[in-house]
Structure 1
């Protein structure tokens, strides 16, 4: 597979070779087998079939049914009231794709054969998998195998395969052994909670049968009692030269049923077998058998071509409404389509089965459904396949009674509390601090209901299911919060866990409170609509739920009085009441959220190495929490507050969850961090294609896949829903020429195309529609295109009266070169001299790239134009030579070389009681300060010799803050380089830029020179 996944995992290598409608491989790497089985899996919401080979055995292969799971007891040494007693665990069902190939009396084994040619293609447009393999067997015989596969979206649980064997030089008997294997065990999933902790137990077999007409195998899950029947049937294509492929024998014993078919092969001849595998779960044994027989009969009548055509039609309908395009980046276009395809095929679509975090592509997370479904996957489906979004919500309605039961377990007398992780509706988490305490799941489901209603205007759903879910879940909030007299009667919510699982059991988690406020208002609106429009239904519902106007009024008061913690000194929203009081995580979190080439190839979450209490005692976030709230429910919040909150929480977030990057990317784009928006988008775009978290083996990441689509539409497209109307604020990443996407909205289909020239909106079908572009209302009529210029997000748009300055501050941390004195020309002369000596071109433009960069990194930039590479030892010698030239250049420096105003500023800061630190990329900083006569003004000096990672890494600023004994948020950084500004923000500090505002546009304030820095403008007493 070396050619298949390369260039950071991008399929097919070179950009020009990428087909944006296909995921293709041209070689096979055994060590990546499990990952590829996830990537090339097919599913239809009920059945999932991993991408293993029909003729080969793989311990990581498998097939799954959404409706089939095992129930395992949870064992505690101390089980207290309300603890979950059991957990659901997805288990593999009978594997039906197997077709063994025998040449004469020897089975063809791929691990013993020489692979002459291999290619595999997942056709995203048609929803089909196609594979060709040309081999020379251990006996020297050359054959070609072709396998085509579909799992039709239009069928409940059916797999269709067309399997062909062509002889290249073999002459003799060919036997195809088509089988169903029922002995697969659930994977022992170990201690990684991202995978699961149960497993090891498979389905029990209680029925086997095989004859010339077909084969059947029945299984039972001992814990849950679920029974499933799996059967196979075959067809020989009419008119194919395989008419003499005939049935030989059938076997049914142990854990397997088989049917054997034989034909004579000769060079140039092809033998083809069509195989159909069906699964039936519900009903008694006789009913299952009847349904199995009927399904297989219909499948054989349609044939592989008929089922493949049905699948292509279903995908054509989907893509007509969900089409997207990227101008100038075929790899990203392919990845977005790949992600959206997996969302469509693994999302629950029958209103009965849920949508698991890993879809139907593997056993990761034990097949559990989380809040990811409503917060990430459902929005993508609501705008592309609303009928699927509705079915996803109907699954939650089906499990509402279980949610009521869970609420009683948690001592709530009324209402419903949806579980953190589940398959069949009950709480499956043994760790309640990060499980049942995550009450925000109720709010996420309410968010999904609200978004679906907005996008579909499906008021029948509100009547039939949505309102009841909103009411029952809303009832929980007054039971976990109260109107707090210590906070002037604000409604406070206690002892809950937000999305950040590295901080649990807190009061007033900002995300939870914000989403609860939205939830309560949505429930009140639903009550009012039903009371006015469908009063009879409202009376019936109120009587059954014992719901009255007084309770509704309580919800309204709680929403209006909701406490939303905000730190005025920092100008940011507090994650919870105690988060900002904790020390920061002492080890570098930035290495985990950095987006440069030095990032480790293995992303290892902190939770695998540290006790939860260790994490809980620090400011460290697993994933977006406050940032998540600002994306999902932040429309009425000033951009400046969003930006400051983004900067602060980015510095303490590890992104150990794949849910984090897409949310950070969306907010980064909104607040003007275009480069970060792009990098975070790419992190979610290729989570599985590049296996960024090293666990795609266990299934794809549904939420991250949805997050990449949201990153395109909500991030770059700026889509928000406000007051039941679509609002757009598009921008174009530097890497693209443009992009486009389709949306479904209230029975209409909308096309949006964005380029640097502007955004074009076309209402492709449906009635007239009012949308908003950059705050301007736009009336669309069918078929007419309207183009508007893109709005630019300027600095003034994120500044308002509640500015970051002045602010309480205990320390100032300065860069040296370009801030306190000018050594830039001395550096330039030294580098220029070295470059001339080694015959490497160097000019002022290249020199500009060296600002804020340490010596070794600067040398690497200069050597980019070298004719030949330099060894590490040679580079060290060159760096030392340059340093000698620089030291000679600054030999004559003295106090007269300080910038005007520096000495006065340092004295004023000292008089105000501020601590002073220096963070310089130069190893010569201490010597230079002595020459300038200000070394004694600083409480701590850090240079490149004291740190491991240079700017834009925040290590040097965090080191200075730690040595000063001042929390980073109580420091102000002063820099003249863009890399330095990034480092300051990553350290959680506000940044003052000295120099060109166009270069330093990410700074919180930009001054022309240090003399313009008046302490009273930036530091409050």
Structure 2
């Protein structure tokens, strides 16, 4: 079933907006300070939820008895058959639903014979606070009963990060003016069931079976419950024990409630000024699905955990929790000067990310974490595309755990690929817990093959950030290879598109456009996936040959198959619309009419998918969320800024942001293309999705991907952070609303602090070995304990560490442009097409076939492919006839001296020419021996302004793009250089070269000392 949440939704209360939810004066505390309404309570339970990646507890009051209070375990879920009237092969057969387990937060309060009902009394003062610094929940309530007695109730709660199956509670009642008996009734409540699905498919489930109680026991020391699921065959044991930290209470009785749970009561007496207190510990143990763990073994685990918890006591657990949180906050290293509420919101979002992801590989990050029942506890692509990028740089152990989950479920992904008729490879389920596909609606479920590429992206980022090649040889490479090989069974080389590699009938991130051909995001990410898989295979074969041989033999991987991956990647179909200059989201997207409702606001508080039939949406040009722009964020280093800006402008106009995943992507791209106000606006949208309940459904759990998106919008957007060639690159900007900001990240074994203010950016290596970073593509070496201060904008004077220069040929070294011009003009005359200087200028820097397409734009008739090939060959014959007469005399003045000066400076040289005749020309000109590497049109599949030719030249020189300078005379070439992450020198006087970092009138004015600081 599809995912979608409407940014315009306000059908639930928004406590943050009326100042009851606050904390801007202290960015480390989130505070709610009034009596919550019935509707507020469920939202607050999500916001104040505590978790440790395995166990999650919503933030309801101990004595409250809320219907929506719940406790969840990643490992406890039920499997329910999916019913279809028409089932076809490969349809998902069942769904997994995470179940609420026995909840141990309940502590009833009885005064004499009267059970306290907080709703019947007067709330004189109330404060519930989430301590983000130390990782615990606390609250205080001054309450007056209907009979007029007054109490103060204080509670603290911890779900320890260091103990995955434990909840710790300290509960204290103080009498203000009450005298009489008091009883604390501590309960383990086991009658909760999964929320039933209503009209909104995002919320609730239809569960067959569920948890049933198989045994329960309660005595003075220990109360326990054993449960079992009906279909997934998971066994669960839970138990509770107590410590009385002060006199005043004694054990009163134990109760077993048939089908409900167990209780232990503690009784005493109060007088004004006196208190009674109870420390409560709740532990859980569970089996694997279909597991054989007996109840006795699970109960023994529970008993052992509780004994250990009592030995440490509450203060020790709280101190250990504070220490674990402190380590995380040191890595995040966050500070915002200018808006404390922004810093608080960022800390709140990071805290939930810390809480909701396991470290042991038992699970991943669910869409709602462990804070509620939304999306049934399922894992989606959000985990790898949004959440893992944050944790890879802030808490690598958690990122490793998320990837280990994918390793552990690889066999299920293989099985799913077979269900989808793929004979080899692996396809990860779109939504899942167990690893099996749970989406009953395949157009926006199983069709989203791009989840494979998101997992590959996450593996690459994790390995780049940590250097953990052990992960690759112990499962990671196998996941990477098995998912990569699937693309060859989904896509094909299409003879109707000049044998480009096309991928048909898939759904990209935009679920409002389903089952399309050549979704740009999918194709782009598949290309990166294939290239990275091939690179990892080569790396392991070189560095760890025995491990690689073992992996390749196990899955039958051959060099021939790897070569096929690269061939598909090189031929990947990624067109540019010639009229709009944008990447079409898919083959048909731009041909559809726009959906009028997308701009009218008529869809109100509900997303389009809950108002319209899917086909109505699919027939229109409307985006649920970022799609093309998402590719820019995850794999857009090689795309030039102008292209990104054009695409941003276009797709902003057709995107309704019905998903909480959308705003952060728009913020990041807006930052990159220079739209500062829009970047900050979208950042605010993703920052406060839950604090302001912007989508009206925080009551069902917080939005983990949006929370992660706020951090990405800070680090990747405002900070400009991108992994580049195994180094972190930055291009910082300062939002106008702030005086400064700071964030940290872990890269390999070093911690880097990035501090930005109006004066510039300061990079500090706070610990670890010296590390190289990139600042606007230029290398900067950081040493331990030292800081480097740089201006926010890139230096126009070139790289900080220049190691190579890449020259264009035509118009830079030799004036072959006039020969090309004459050859094209002659061909145009012969076929009756007008040709002038405007057309000639457009052909500069463009390869032969692309130039022919430009020329034929003016043709009154269409040409067949064989006719086009013949025309291109005829033009080349005219050109070769002319250059056969070339010699050194045809070098442009100063060209040879410029190249020789580079070599004398100890730098490498390369040629990047769109001409297929470049090697011949160099020989004729007498300068072939001056170049260390030559790339011409025979070596590439995409013409300038694509960066491929300059990236290939840098690879040939063995250099990083940021270590290279490009020299060009055409606008397409300048764009190509910038897209490759290099500094661009323009040669000529053309207005089209205004984007060059340095513009020279001719090549004779080229002086290498401008870039090296020494004479050439």
Instruction: Bin the TM-score by the shorter chain.
Output: 0.7 to 0.9
Counterpart in the other structure of 1:987? none
User: Which secondary structure does the structure 1 equivalent of 2:17 belong to?
Assistant: coil
Counterpart in the other structure of 1:853? none
TM-score (structure 2 length as normaliser): 0.75
Superposed CA RMSD in Å reads 1.8
Partners in 2 of 1:169 and 1:190 — Cα distance? Answer: 47
Give unpaired runs (5+ residues) of structure 1: 593-599, 795-1004, 1006-1021
Deviation at 1:12, TM superposition (A): 5.0
Partners in 1 of 2:621 and 2:219 — Cα distance? Answer: 65
Partners in 2 of 1:251 and 1:268 — Cα distance? Answer: 34
Kindly indicate whether the alpha-carbon contact (under 8 Å) linking 1:10 and 1:689 is maintained by their aligned counterparts in 2.
no
Q: Could you report, residue by residue, the CA deviation over 1:412-467 in whole angstroms, capped at 9, with x for unpaired residues? A: 00010001100010000000110000000000000000000000000100110110
Partners in 2 of 1:182 and 1:197 — Cα distance? Answer: 19
Q: Could you report, residue by residue, the CA deviation over 1:503-549 in whole angstroms, capped at 9, with x for unpaired residues? A: 01111000000000010011101111111111111222122111111
1:555 is aligned, of 565, 572, 593, to 565
Partners in 1 of 2:306 and 2:58 — Cα distance? Answer: 21
Partners in 2 of 1:195 and 1:494 — Cα distance? Answer: 31
Kindly indicate whether the alpha-carbon contact (under 8 Å) linking 2:195 and 2:204 is maintained by their aligned counterparts in 1.
no
1:624 is aligned, of 609, 623, 626, to 626
1:254 lines up with 2:259 in the alignment: yes
Aligned pair count reads 781
Structure 1 residues 7, 174: CA separation in 2 closer, same or farther (over 3 Å shift)?
A: closer
1:112 lines up with 2:120 in the alignment: yes
Within-5 A mapping of 1:215-364: 215-237=223-245, 240-242=246-248, 244-282=249-287, 283-364=293-374
Counterpart in the other structure of 1:546? 556
1:418 lines up with 2:440 in the alignment: no
2:520 is aligned, of 510, 516, 519, to 510
Partners in 1 of 2:18 and 2:569 — Cα distance? Answer: 47
Deviation at 1:201, TM superposition (A): 5.7
Structure 1 residues 49, 793: CA separation in 2 closer, same or farther (over 3 Å shift)?
A: farther
1:8 is aligned, of 17, 22, 25, to 17
Structure 1 residues 142, 720: CA separation in 2 closer, same or farther (over 3 Å shift)?
A: same
1:20 lines up with 2:27 in the alignment: yes
Q: Could you report, residue by residue, the CA deviation over 1:8-60 in whole angstroms, capped at 9, with x for unpaired residues? A: 36665585xx2100101111221211100000000001100000011111111
1:170 lines up with 2:175 in the alignment: no
User: Which secondary structure does the structure 2 equivalent of 1:297 belong to?
Assistant: helix
2:546 is aligned, of 536, 549, 572, to 536
Deviation at 1:775, TM superposition (A): 2.9
User: Which secondary structure does the structure 1 equivalent of 2:535 belong to?
Assistant: helix
Kindly indicate whether the alpha-carbon contact (under 8 Å) linking 2:353 and 2:707 is maintained by their aligned counterparts in 1.
yes
Counterpart in the other structure of 2:770? 768
Structure 1 residues 325, 263: CA separation in 2 closer, same or farther (over 3 Å shift)?
A: same
Kindly indicate whether the alpha-carbon contact (under 8 Å) linking 2:22 and 2:30 is maintained by their aligned counterparts in 1.
no
Q: Could you report, residue by residue, the CA deviation over 1:921-952 in whole angstroms, capped at 9, with x for unpaired residues? A: xxxxxxxxxxxxxxxxxxxxxxxxxxxxxxxx
Structure 1 residues 733, 200: CA separation in 2 closer, same or farther (over 3 Å shift)?
A: farther
1:435 is aligned, of 445, 452, 462, to 445
Partners in 1 of 2:19 and 2:470 — Cα distance? Answer: 44
Q: Could you report, residue by residue, the CA deviation over 1:978-1017 in whole angstroms, capped at 9, with x for unpaired residues? A: xxxxxxxxxxxxxxxxxxxxxxxxxxx9xxxxxxxxxxxx
1:180 is aligned, of 156, 165, 188, to 188
Partners in 1 of 2:745 and 2:794 — Cα distance? Answer: 24
Counterpart in the other structure of 2:533? 523
Mean Cα displacement is larger for which, 339-348 or 4-13? 4-13
1:479 is aligned, of 465, 468, 489, to 489
Partners in 2 of 1:319 and 1:425 — Cα distance? Answer: 32
Counterpart in the other structure of 1:683? 685
TM-score (structure 1 length as normaliser): 0.75
Kindly indicate whether the alpha-carbon contact (under 8 Å) linking 2:430 and 2:451 is maintained by their aligned counterparts in 1.
yes
1:787 lines up with 2:765 in the alignment: no
Partners in 2 of 1:144 and 1:704 — Cα distance? Answer: 37
Deviation at 1:774, TM superposition (A): 2.2
Counterpart in the other structure of 1:406? 416
Q: Could you report, residue by residue, the CA deviation over 1:178-230 in whole angstroms, capped at 9, with x for unpaired residues? A: 11111111111213132244348641111110001110011111121111101
Counterpart in the other structure of 1:646? 648
Counterpart in the other structure of 1:865? none
Q: Could you report, residue by residue, the CA deviation over 1:560-616 in whole angstroms, capped at 9, with x for unpaired residues? A: 111112201100000000100111112243648xxxxxxx9x642100100000000
Kindly indicate whether the alpha-carbon contact (under 8 Å) linking 2:775 and 2:794 is maintained by their aligned counterparts in 1.
no
Partners in 1 of 2:74 and 2:103 — Cα distance? Answer: 15
Counterpart in the other structure of 1:748? 750
Partners in 1 of 2:598 and 2:198 — Cα distance? Answer: 27
2:164 is aligned, of 156, 160, 177, to 156
Counterpart in the other structure of 2:801? none
Kindly indicate whether the alpha-carbon contact (under 8 Å) linking 1:71 and 1:86 is maintained by their aligned counterparts in 2.
yes
Kindly indicate whether the alpha-carbon contact (under 8 Å) linking 1:207 and 1:219 is maintained by their aligned counterparts in 2.
yes
Deviation at 1:274, TM superposition (A): 0.2
Deviation at 1:786, TM superposition (A): 1.4
Counterpart in the other structure of 1:29? 36
Partners in 2 of 1:5 and 1:733 — Cα distance? Answer: 27
Counterpart in the other structure of 2:220? 212
Partners in 2 of 1:574 and 1:757 — Cα distance? Answer: 40
Counterpart in the other structure of 1:458? 468
1:193 is aligned, of 194, 201, 212, to 201
Q: Could you report, residue by residue, the CA deviation over 1:690-738 in whole angstroms, capped at 9, with x for unpaired residues? A: 0101110100000000000000000000001111111111111111111
Counterpart in the other structure of 2:585? 575
Kindly indicate whether the alpha-carbon contact (under 8 Å) linking 2:431 and 2:439 is maintained by their aligned counterparts in 1.
yes
User: Which secondary structure does the structure 2 equivalent of 1:68 belong to?
Assistant: strand
Partners in 2 of 1:10 and 1:740 — Cα distance? Answer: 27
Kindly indicate whether the alpha-carbon contact (under 8 Å) linking 1:5 and 1:12 is maintained by their aligned counterparts in 2.
no
Kindly indicate whether the alpha-carbon contact (under 8 Å) linking 2:20 and 2:34 is maintained by their aligned counterparts in 1.
no
User: Which secondary structure does the structure 2 equivalent of 1:375 belong to?
Assistant: helix
1:63 lines up with 2:65 in the alignment: no
Structure 1 residues 132, 251: CA separation in 2 closer, same or farther (over 3 Å shift)?
A: same
Counterpart in the other structure of 1:38? 46
User: Which secondary structure does the structure 2 equivalent of 1:763 belong to?
Assistant: strand
Deviation at 1:7, TM superposition (A): 6.6
Deviation at 1:624, TM superposition (A): 0.3
Within-5 A mapping of 1:895-914: none
Counterpart in the other structure of 2:381? 371
User: Which secondary structure does the structure 1 equivalent of 2:405 belong to?
Assistant: helix
Kindly indicate whether the alpha-carbon contact (under 8 Å) linking 2:753 and 2:766 is maintained by their aligned counterparts in 1.
yes
Q: Could you report, residue by residue, the CA deviation over 1:333-384 in whole angstroms, capped at 9, with x for unpaired residues? A: 0000000000010012211122100000000001100000000000000010
1:493 is aligned, of 500, 503, 516, to 503
Structure 1 residues 713, 555: CA separation in 2 closer, same or farther (over 3 Å shift)?
A: same
User: Which secondary structure does the structure 1 equivalent of 2:745 belong to?
Assistant: strand
Deviation at 1:286, TM superposition (A): 1.4
Partners in 2 of 1:672 and 1:55 — Cα distance? Answer: 52
Kindly indicate whether the alpha-carbon contact (under 8 Å) linking 1:249 and 1:261 is maintained by their aligned counterparts in 2.
no
Give unpaired runs (5+ residues) of structure 2: 1-12, 288-292, 797-991, 993-1016
Within-5 A mapping of 1:574-613: 574-589=584-599, 591=601, 603-613=605-615
Kindly indicate whether the alpha-carbon contact (under 8 Å) linking 1:374 and 1:445 is maintained by their aligned counterparts in 2.
yes
Q: Could you report, residue by residue, the CA deviation over 1:153-192 in whole angstroms, capped at 9, with x for unpaired residues? A: 0002100000001011111111011111111111112131
1:736 is aligned, of 714, 738, 741, to 738
Kindly indicate whether the alpha-carbon contact (under 8 Å) linking 1:82 and 1:410 is maintained by their aligned counterparts in 2.
yes
Kindly indicate whether the alpha-carbon contact (under 8 Å) linking 1:620 and 1:652 is maintained by their aligned counterparts in 2.
yes
User: Which secondary structure does the structure 2 equivalent of 1:92 belong to?
Assistant: strand
Counterpart in the other structure of 1:95? 103
Partners in 2 of 1:195 and 1:791 — Cα distance? Answer: 46
Deviation at 1:254, TM superposition (A): 3.1
